[in-house]
Structure formats: C-alpha cells, structure tokens
Amino acid sequence: MIGMIDNNLRYCREELEMTQEELGIILGASKQIVSNWETGYVFMPLTKLVRFCNLYNYSLDFVVGFTRKNIKYNKEIKLDSKLIGNNLKTLRKSLNLTQQKISDKCNLYQATYNHYETGYSLIKIIPAYSICKTYNISMDWLVGRSKNPKITNK
C-alpha cells in the first residue's frame, strides 16, 4: 500500500511542478510532513488527501494507486460521515456480510467499523484504503464522488 500512495502523491505534486514546501503551505503542513507522506513514514490524513484531490482535480483512486488513469470529476468531494457510512452499509449488505466479518478482514475493531458505518466517526485513510482494497471498491465512490462502486482500469 505505501509504495502506491507514495509514488502517485509525489508524481502528482511533480506533475503540478510544485515543491514539497509549496504543497505543504497549501495543505497546512510542513515540508517535512509532505516528505513523510511521500515516503510512507506518515500517512496523509483523508481530509488533506481530499483537499488535494479537489484543488487539483485528481481522483482519490488515482492518488492512492487503485487505478493508473486519473478520472477528472466535475464534482468536489465533501467529506460526509453519514454518506460514507451509508455507502459502507450498502457495500456490507450487498456482500451479505456482518460488521464483524468486514472488521476482521480489514483488521479493525468491530466497534470502530460500526462508528464509521453509522456516521458517528469520519473514516480514517488507512481503514478506508483497506476496505476499498479488500473489496475492490472505488474510494471515490466511498466518499460519494462517483456513482460506480467498482474500481476500473487497474
């Protein structure tokens, strides 16, 4: 997981002809934090990743390495824990799984997953990535940016 996120984040930043320091200023982080995101030492918070994708019209799926082609959306991502929770519930029910089975498969506590599914807590980047990767689901779909839950163009 780390390598794909690192390479695409750095690739995107370099494609924009931006330094780590410039990106840090835009996202409210130090140059060192941006470097840590790119090397995988620290994971970029979902809120910052979404801001980056919205500002520069990248898909989440592209930046995290789920697809090799960037899909440009006309719709900005608005992180909404209830909407994400509903999408998690839709996914779980369509697969006929329990919260416990998804939690076990994705190395989460069931109570934590429940908080994400009910919208009580906004999902974090690592659980979001893990769930999407495990079930081959688009991260853009999870956050409500696309209508198609399946990842394409892998």
Q: Which CATH architecture has domain 2-63?
A: Orthogonal Bundle (1.10)
Whole-angstrom distance, CA of residue 32 vs CA of residue 87? 34
Whole-angstrom distance, CA of residue 79 vs CA of residue 84? 8
Provide, for the chain, the percentages of residues in helix, strand and coil under a 3-state DSSP scheme, each rounded to the nearest 5.
60, 0, 40
- Return the pLDDT at 1: 46
| Residue 63: other Cβ atoms inside 10 A | 24
- Return the pLDDT at 152: 57
- Return the pLDDT at 38: 87
- Return the pLDDT at 39: 83
- pLDDT tens sequence for the chain (154 residues): 444 454 688 999 999 999 999 999 999 999 999 999 888 888 889 999 999 999 999 999 999 888 889 988 888 999 999 999 999 999 999 999 999 999 999 999 999 999 999 999 999 999 999 999 999 999 999 999 988 788 655 4
Please report which helix (H) or strand (E) contains residue 27, including its range: helix 20-27
Domains of the chain: which residue ranges? 2-63, 81-142
What does 91-154 look like in DSSP terms, one character per residue? HHHHTT--HHHHHHHTT--HHHHHHHHTTSSPPPHHHHHHHHHHTTB-HHHHTTS-S--B----
Domain 2-63 identical in fold to domain 81-142: yes
- Return the pLDDT at 3: 45
Q: Which CATH architecture has domain 81-142?
A: Orthogonal Bundle (1.10)
- Phi and psi at residue 107, in whole multiples of 5°? 55, 50
